[in-house]
A and B are shown apart, each in its own frame.
Chain A
């Protein structure tokens, strides 16, 4: 079964750090671009970051640039999001998603992991 499973969310104080993981299974992980998308409580979807298939190229939303780092480990079939200098406005459910290049869209999504930034 093609699957993405996020983990690592939780409660963190402003200014703190957290690392999210997204474990992939059921497909050749190293062949796909991967993304992080977040959704604040009661709000819409916001794209956060993207990494290409071999990890050599990354892109970030302006709101997280310089604070978040996306990476991947093909040996572990796992995607990461290192989040530093967290702010209250980073509070959201974070989803990892697979981009199918042929579709130009995100065809597989994880279940999401909640990150709450509060003192």
Chain B
């Protein structure tokens, strides 16, 4: 099974900061990588699909990059609504795996 490793596990930041979260796959997954945002008590929300495509309705301050085994999620200017936990997720050969999550806190 493909393992997904996110770093850091926790990130302390301030409003206006540029934030980068990294996700590494244990083997190549091409660009089959998605990013989700989850707030406490709520369902996850899709932000980025196919590594770098912005989901409809998601603010443009969110961006994704990478392919193969290394991927990043960048928030260009952190807003109060962005404090949440972020998960990467891969799809490969009828296998789906999430990273362990990155909590972005004040």
Please give the residue numbers on chain A whose beta carbons come within 8 Å of chain B beta carbons, in ascending order: 35, 37, 44-47, 50, 59, 62, 95, 100, 103-107, 109-112
Number of contact residues on B: which range applies? 20 to 34
Q: State whether A105 touches B100 (Cβ < 8 A).
A: no
Q: How far is the CA of A37 from the CA of B55 in the complex (A)?
A: 20
Known contacts A45-B44, A109-B43, A110-B43: A104-B98 contact under CB 8 Å: no
Mostly, the A contact residues are: strand
Question: Which residues 79-106 in B have Cβ within 8 Å of A in the complex?
Answer: 87, 89, 91, 94-101
Tell whether, in the assembled complex, residue B55 and residue A107 are in contact, meaning their CB atoms are under 8 Å apart.
yes
Give Cα A95 to B46, complex, Å.
14
Greatest chain B CB density within 10 A among A50, A62, A100, A105 is at: A105
